[in-house]
Every structure is written in structure tokens, then in C-alpha cells.
Amino acid sequence: MTSMRAVPRPTVAGLSFRPLVAEDAGQWLELVVRIAEAENAPWHDQLSDLTEVLGSAANPAADNTLVGVDGDGVPRAYGYVAKSPGGPVGFVFGGVDPLWQRRGAGAAVLAWQQDVSRSRFAAEDQASAGARCFARAGNTPHEAMLAAAGFGRVRYFTEMERPLTFIPEPVTVPGVRVVPFTPGLGEAVRLAHNEAFADHWGSESRSSEKWEYFLGHESFRPDLSTVAVDEASGEVAGYQMSMFDADAAASEGRRCGYTDILGVRRAWRGRGIAPALLIDAMARYRAAGMDAATLDVDTENPSGAVGLYGKLGYTAIPGRVTVAWDKAL
């Protein structure tokens, strides 16, 4: 492994670029919210998401983050790169203030992110390099910028929902107990998740650091999350980890429980554990006063997830499709 080479910062008229620091978190969140509101985005990063980026040991902010501030010191554009050690892609995230769009800031930040990704791969002596960006389908300016930079669509993710006016009868799986998530199960669930998702497209193992941030996220709801435990061995067979976005509830006027991750380890698949976990989640959501159960699905997932969700009454939410864009570097 070699040292990461320094990457020149973008040059955009009226903006001064520097790395993000911890003190930027509040203003950075305000910028994220401005962008989300202008784009009518169904969700946006919250403070804990930004704090995770700023405190990441795997992706030090000094080398992997960027903010462009105007003459008054107000953040107007940002970008960051996240790459796991040995990972096949550098994930690029960013945005531009609505008042500063169409001035070249977005393209400049994206070019910087690609250079940072190349430098990261070179520092790890990896022969192949790639960048991946996620964009909401229908965000024409964002999609046009990615296409112009040489990115191409590779995967589609659809958000689905199910009203909680009616809930199926609970599913019992012989030899398996569905229990509430507790902190004591945290590490076992992390290891189960890494195993369960090892054969999923685009999935990378979650480190202890990333898992700690996930469990500490302000939207994570342990009371709505459950674990399927094998009664004979005591092992975690499956899990569903739920979240509740208070900001989205306030803006949409309804409350939705969101299954952020759902997984079943290979040795326990085909026994009905996933339906059992989802139906249990529905009951928990309704008891908490929620209106609907939601989740995201990879539309090309070969596990049959789309069919499973359909059978349980989930339907696609119009306009809620996210596209993964890739580029070989």
C-alpha cells in the first residue's frame, strides 16, 4: 500500500473549497435540507449521517470531503467519497445549493470525487477502480450530469409500502423465535447481516464502526426491530431493523415504519422467516400509531424479494425509484 496522493480542489467562480470539519455539521445539514426541499426528495441525510462522515476512520474527512463556501462563508456545494478497504467502488455523494446550480459546481465536485477515488485505489494497489453514485430517478439535471461524466445506470431500487389497515395473521416458524432487538444482540446481528448479504449485489460488510453509527442513528427504532433466533443453537437466523423518519412524517402528514434491512442467513432460508419478521414488524408499526409499512427493494434481486413483498401486500410507491450509476475509473 502506498500513500494517497493529494488531489487538487475544484475551481468554481465565487466559491472557496476546503475539507469539511466537525464544526460544519450544522450548516452542512441546512444545505442538505435546502437541496432536498428544492428537489422534493422523499428523504435526506440527517445529522447523525453527516456526523458519521465527519468522524469516519476509514474515510478521513481531511482527504475525502469537500465543501464550497461563498464569500459570506455559507456552504453552497459539498461532496464526499466513501470507500471500504479493498472495496470495489468508491461511493460518491454530493449536492449543490439550488441558488448555485447550473454554474458548474456539481460537475467540478464530481470530477474531484473521481480523482479522489482513483487516488484511493492507487494507494491500496488495486488494479481496477470504479465510482458509484445514487440518484433519484426523474432528477433530470443530476442524471444528465452523471451521463455527461461517463456514468451509466446499473441498478434500480424501488420503495414499496403497505397500509396497516389490515395485517396478516402472524407466521410461526418451527424451531425459531422472533424476539425484540436488544443491544445485547447487536454484534450477533451485525455478523448475521454480513453473512446474509454476502451474496447481494453491491453489498459490503459493515464494520463495527459503521454498525455503531447505524444503531446510534436518530431514526433507528430498536423497539420496532426484531430478531429471529434459532431455539436449538441460540444463533441469529434472521433480522429486520426498522427506522422512523420524523421529518418525513411531518412533511407528508402520515407516519411510516421503514424496514431498513431485512436478512435471513443462508442455512435458514426457505422456512418463512422473512414473512414472519415482516408481519411482526407490521404489527409493531400499527401498535406505534403508524399508517404504513415501507421498505426498499433491488428490482433485480434474484432472491425473490419483489415477489415476497407483493404477496404480503406491498406495492411500489410512484416516483420513489433510486438508480445506481457506475463508472470505471
Position 302 scores a pLDDT of 62
Q: Which of 77, 132, 131, 82 is nearest to 107 (CA)?
A: 77
The yes-or-no verdict on residue 1 having pLDDT over 80 is no
1 domain residue, yes or no: no
Position 41 scores a pLDDT of 86
Q: How confident is the model at residue 305 (pLDDT cuts 50, 70, 90)?
A: confident
Neighbouring residues of 235: CB distance < 8 A, sequence distance ≥ 6: 188, 192, 229, 265
Q: How confident is the model at residue 282 (pLDDT cuts 50, 70, 90)?
A: very high
Let me know whether 44 and 188 are in one domain: no
Position 129 scores a pLDDT of 86
CATH code, domain carrying 314:
3.40.630.30
- Global confidence as pTM: 0.91
329 domain residue, yes or no: no
Question: In whole numbers, what is the pLDDT of the chain averaged over residues?
Answer: 94
Let me know whether 82 and 192 are in one domain: no
Helix (H) or strand (E) segment spanning residue 75: strand 75-82
Cα–Cα distance, 5 to 120 (Å, whole number) = 8
Q: pLDDT tens-digit profile of 185-232?
A: 999 999 999 999 998 888 889 999 999 999 999 999 999 999 999 999
The yes-or-no verdict on residue 146 having pLDDT over 60 is yes
Decide which of 150, 177, 197 is a domain's last residue: 150
Position 177 scores a pLDDT of 97
User: What does the radius of gyration of the chain's CA atoms come to, in whole angstroms?
Assistant: 21
Position 303 scores a pLDDT of 67
Decide which of 104, 125, 150 is a domain's last residue: 150
Q: What are the phi and psi torsion angles at 130 (to 5°)?
A: -150, 155
Q: How many domains does the chain have?
A: 2
Q: pLDDT tens-digit profile of 159-183?
A: 999 999 999 999 999 999 999 999 9
- Here the cell at position 205 is 460488510
4 domain residue, yes or no: no
Neighbouring residues of 74: CB distance < 8 A, sequence distance ≥ 6: 27
Cα–Cα distance, 280 to 292 (Å, whole number) = 13
Decide which of 133, 150, 167 is a domain's last residue: 150
The yes-or-no verdict on residue 98 having pLDDT over 60 is yes
How do strand 315-328 and strand 130-136 relate by DSSP bridges? antiparallel
Cα–Cα distance, 307 to 118 (Å, whole number) = 39
204 domain residue, yes or no: yes
Let me know whether 212 and 79 are in one domain: no
Position 247 scores a pLDDT of 83
Q: pLDDT tens-digit profile of 56-93?
A: 999 999 999 999 999 999 999 999 999 999 899 999 99
Provide the residue range defining the domain that includes 139.
Answer: 16-150
262 domain residue, yes or no: yes
Position 212 scores a pLDDT of 93
Position 306 scores a pLDDT of 84
Q: What are the phi and psi torsion angles at 271 (to 5°)?
A: -110, 5
CA dihedral 329, 104, 34, 14 (to 10 degrees): 130
127 domain residue, yes or no: yes
3-state SS class at 85: coil
